[in-house]
Structure 1
Amino acid sequence: MPCDHVGLDEPPTREVLVDGLDVTYRGTVYPWHCDHMGHMNVMWYVGKFDEATWNLMSHIGITPAYLRSDHRGMVAVDQQISYRRELVAGDVVLVRSAILEVRDKVMRFRHQMENAATGEVAAVTVLTGVHLDTRTRRSCPLPAEHLARAKSLLTRAAS
């Protein structure tokens, strides 16, 4: 008896986080991203979400230049992922991101990965990141301008 693909009998999932929010990642699923079951392996979902994270951080001013010059970093302290639909070799994916919560040293944000051709949501992740002094390895406050920019992007998107 052949195996059914997970989730293929379900209706397409279409979620929108925030109208007009910039896409923070766009890429392609390559054959080497796929596991023995023929769909993109979980390690690549995490990798693509990570790329989206750095684009989101850069958008609020937490750029590689800032991180290097000010001896700062961002570290993930929590990540939850919900896999909704399969992605296979050749699929073009995009990630939309939203900031859910901002405090002096902490930011919580959500990424939504979509199949660019169908609009179906493939996965959603919510991450909590902490701003870090890389010399002391301790958390430290975000600069006022980065904090203000992040707060200006806050959304009411469900976590």
Structure 2
Amino acid sequence: MEQEATYRGTVYPWQCDHVGHMNIMWYVGKFDEANWNLFARLGLTPSYLRSSGRGMAAVRQNITYKRELLAGDIIEIRSHLLEVREKSIRFRHEMTNAETGEIAAICEITGVHMNRELRKSAPFADAIRQIAMTHLVEPAEA
């Protein structure tokens, strides 16, 4: 199933390192922005997280860099939910150069739903879990 982008942006000159391509700190930042857009689609909106005393914490993140991105390149990230468990989700972001369509980087993250007050993992609410299940990528697509 084709998904809308969870992030769109550009590479600015100040985001580039000494060899002229986007520095890794900016990849992480752009993937983080995609996280919050994906979470909102699942019902994990800022207002839900504030009112419920819940939060999300990344416990595993693996980034694979495929192609460099240069100043002026337009970036698009599409996100795919791979797994939903009682207290955690696993998802993948694919960052592409929007002009060429080439994948620049892939980031796979495991995030844990947590009780912010207790600082412990917490089960997803049934409503969140039901929404998440509708966004789950078919195993053959993963």
Is the pair's TM-score, using the shorter chain for normalization, greater than 0.5?
Answer: yes
Verify: 1:79 aligned to 2:61, yes or no: yes
Match of 1:119 among 74, 97, 101: 101
Measured in 1, the distance between the counterparts of 2:35 and 2:3 equals: 14
Radius of gyration: which is bigger?
A: 1
Measured in 2, the distance between the counterparts of 1:145 and 1:85 equals: 38
Q: CA deviation at 1:104?
A: 1.0
How does 1:5-154 map onto structure 2 within 5 Å? Answer: 19-154=1-136
Q: CA deviation at 1:20?
A: 1.9
Runs of 5+ unmatched residues, structure 1: 1-18
Query: Which portions of structure 1, spanning 4 or more consecutive aligned residues, are displaced by more than 2 angstroms?
Result: none
Q: CA deviation at 1:48?
A: 0.3
Structure 1 SS opposite 2:2: coil
CA deviation string 1:42-75 (max 9, x = no partner): 0000000000000000011101111111111000
CA RMSD of aligned residues (A): 0.7
CA deviation string 1:67-117 (max 9, x = no partner): 111111000000000000000000000000000000110100000000000
For residue 113 of structure 2, what is the amino acid of its counterpart?
Answer: H
CA deviation string 1:98-150 (max 9, x = no partner): 00000110100000000000000000010000000000000000111111111
Choose 96-105 or 147-156, whichever is displaced more: 147-156
What is the identity percentage for the equivalent residue pairs of Structure 1 and Structure 2? 56
Structure 2 SS opposite 1:23: coil
Aligned residues: 140
Q: Whose helix fraction is larger, Structure 1's or Structure 2's?
A: 2
What does residue 10 of structure 1 align with?
A: none
Provide the TM-score with structure 2 as the length reference: 0.97
Structure 1 SS opposite 2:25: helix
For residue 73 of structure 1, what is the amino acid of its counterpart?
Answer: G
Provide the TM-score with structure 1 as the length reference: 0.86
